[in-house]
Amino acid sequence: MRRSEAILLLAAVALGWGTAWPVTKAILDHLSPLWTVTLRSAIGTVTLFAISAGLRQLVLPPRGDLLVVLNVGWLHMVIFSILVALGLQFVPAGRSIVLGYTTPLWVVIGARIFLGEKLTWKRMLGISLGLFGLLLLFNPARFNWGDHDAVFGNACVMLGAFSWAVSILHIRAHKWIATPFELVPWQALLATATVIPIAWAFEGAPQATWSPTLLGLLLYGGTVATALPYWAVQMVNRSLPAMTTALGLLTVPVVGVLCSAIALGEPLTWALFTAMALILSGIAVGVRAR
């Protein structure tokens, strides 16, 4: 793949994952959180299997990769997705995506504790910038601790970020046999098979007023915002340096915040912009540290 094509795919990944947050927020107006995750996951699973079959890359996961299938399927695709969906009921999509994308900050800290990676001055600077941005965004002094819904929503998104960080740390330590993309359909299938009984147990049969709008949101959420980015980011990783990919993905929160403002009418405050700039700068500094 040519560099220009890879950059276009990277832009598509940023658009897909960035718009996933306001799209999920919109789906929650019609559907319960667990069924939102379930239907998106099911559509994404079918799409990923279709892509893998079309590319003739559909293979059973090797035994040595089963742990990473369980890790990504449960920690990222199930726990992270459910926590974000629960949080989005009470937290604006723009704020949620900034909180959710603090994940790399926790990865840097976890890599030092559990993987023995060096905590260089650049990484320390990155962590400091990110935490300062998080403090500005959250602002404990002004936060309404009496609003239990807001506390619950913000806590869910942050716990989701921690769950994703744990998943990434395991992926870093894992010795791969199959390629990441060969495992993605099976991770998605595991996630869908896991969340269906959970949704049925806690929310019963899906209750929704079905409409072309809801169906369109679900199809977009399952394909453009879920399956296609998973495929595209693997293609990008083969064609661009890891540093370029990592820095390019920093545009995801920017896309998410702007789309939330345009599509959902969420306000763009200076505090949100400043916090986002600090967190992204901290991640960028940490990523660039060798």
Q: Is the pLDDT of residue 290 over 80?
A: no
| Range in 105-109, 114-118, 234-238 the model is least confident about | 234-238
Q: Residue 118 has what pLDDT?
A: 82
Q: Residue 174 has what pLDDT?
A: 85
Q: In this structure, which amino acid lies at residue 172? A: R
Q: Residue 180 has what pLDDT?
A: 84
Q: Is the pLDDT of residue 90 over 90?
A: yes
Q: Which residue has the higher pLDDT, 218 or 141?
A: 218
Exposure b/e, 138-147, CB count within 10 A at least 16 = b: eeeeeeeeee
Q: Residue 284 has what pLDDT?
A: 82
3-state secondary structure of 11: helix
Q: Is the pLDDT of residue 92 over 80?
A: yes
Q: Residue 240 has what pLDDT?
A: 74
203-256 tens-digit pLDDT: 999 988 889 999 999 999 999 999 999 888 877 877 777 667 777 788 889 899
Q: Residue 214 has what pLDDT?
A: 96
Mean per-residue pLDDT of the chain = 89
Sequence-distant (≥ 6) Cβ neighbours of residue 14 within 8 angstroms: 248, 249, 251, 252, 255
Sequence-distant (≥ 6) Cβ neighbours of residue 77 within 8 angstroms: 41, 187, 188, 190, 191
Distance (Å, whole) CA 247 – CA 238: 16
Distance (Å, whole) CA 23 – CA 35: 14
User: Are the CB atoms for 88 and 21 separated by under 8 Å?
Assistant: yes
pTM: 0.90
Q: Residue 127 has what pLDDT?
A: 86
Burial class (CB in 10 A: 0-12, 13-18, 19+), 56: exposed
DSSP state of 56: T
Q: Residue 288 has what pLDDT?
A: 67
Q: 289 falls in which pLDDT band (50, 70, 90)?
A: low
149-166 tens-digit pLDDT: 999 999 999 999 999 999
Q: Residue 107 has what pLDDT?
A: 86
Contacts 24+ apart (CB under 8 A), 203-211: 203/32, 203/33, 203/34, 203/35, 206/31, 206/32, 206/35, 206/38, 206/39, 207/32, 208/30, 208/31, 208/35, 209/30, 211/30
3-51 tens-digit pLDDT: 788 888 889 999 999 999 999 999 999 999 999 999 999 999 999 999 9
Share of the chain above pLDDT 90, in %: 55
